[in-house]
Amino acid sequence: MRVLVGLGVALAFVVTSLPADARPQRRTTKQQRLKGHKATKKRAARISTIRERDRIEIRELLRGQSIGAPQDGRLQHATELPAGDGYHIRRPQRAFGTETTVEFIERAISDTLEAYPDQHVLAIGDISAESGGPITQHHSHQSGRDADIGLFYKEQPSGYPESFIHADEENLDCAATFKLIESFLATTSEDGGAQVIFLDFDVQGILYDWAVEHSISERRLARIFQYPHGRGAPEGLVRHEPNHDNHIHVRFKCPSDDTGCR
């Protein structure tokens, strides 16, 4: 009996000591194989879903931020215009745009205030909602490329910058407002830069006359203003739009990497 027990222990030691690939393999049943196959399929399905979600996210990022047109579009991965010195954001929940739009707004304001450091605070109106789409009081401002910017005045009007204020020959600071417009137009040759500025025709006339009096060439003014050619004329980058006698509306071009932008 002791010999048999000793032999059994020795055999057990030999089997345990064998390399893994030399040990006797357990035989799996058909049910176990099916169960393992189903688990493998589930893992593959989860991996496929994750990969597809990643591919969708990558495609969205490649399409950029501005999707569709200003009058029929939306905004994704929005950039918020931050609070800053020298300007007041009237409705922060509508201060979202493309990255280039926000950068150019900040630059134009900074350049203007650098030239006119004693100016009052500038009113910033609507750009877009965080996800874009229709917002009240606007037909456009849907895809993060439109921005309403207030004007500069000889003295800060009552109610400004919380509200936009009608401009006329008596109250408009032509020098600072002209500089603001030129600062936006300086971006036209850059990717995503200004495309057009909307401003009431009569307010254009006030700025135009001031510029002529200050020896700014007519060639330069012809590039800037639609005035004096008429409200429907194709000249100039500043075009007439009704109800824009108290602010400028700057529309920016589609950035080159925004392939869904129109």
Per the model's pLDDT, the better-predicted residue between 4 and 240 turns out to be: 240
Q: Is residue 221 part of a domain?
A: yes
Q: What's the DSSP call for residue 138? A: -
pLDDT tens-place string over residues 65-112: 999 999 999 999 999 999 999 999 999 999 999 999 999 999 999 999
Residue 64: pLDDT band with limits 50, 70, 90:
confident
Per the model's pLDDT, the better-predicted residue between 45 and 245 turns out to be: 245
pLDDT tens-place string over residues 30-42: 565 555 555 555 5
Q: Is residue 140 part of a domain?
A: yes
Q: Is residue 5 part of a domain?
A: no
Q: Is residue 199 part of a domain?
A: yes
Domain housing 238:
67-252
Please state, in angstroms and as integers, the Cα–Cα distance from residue 138 to each residue in 89, 100, 135, 141, 165, following that order: 17, 21, 6, 7, 18
Number of domains, the chain: 1
Q: Is residue 8 part of a domain?
A: no
Q: Is residue 149 part of a domain?
A: yes
Place of tokens 């060439």: 217
pLDDT tens-place string over residues 196-224: 999 999 999 999 999 999 999 999 999 99
Q: Is residue 94 part of a domain?
A: yes
Please state, in angstroms and as integers, the Cα–Cα distance from residue 75 to each residue in 20, 108, 258, following that order: 59, 22, 11
Q: What's the DSSP call for residue 22? A: G
Q: Is residue 240 part of a domain?
A: yes
Q: Which residues of 192-209 are buried (b: 16+ CB within 10 A; e: fewer)?
A: bbbbbbbbbbebbebbbe
What are the tokens at 240?
A: 């007439």
Q: Are 196 and 226 in contact (CB under 8 A)?
A: no
Q: Which pLDDT does position 170 carry in this prediction? A: 98
CATH number at residue 184: 3.30.1380.10
Q: What is the pTM of this model?
A: 0.77
CA distance 164 to 122: 10
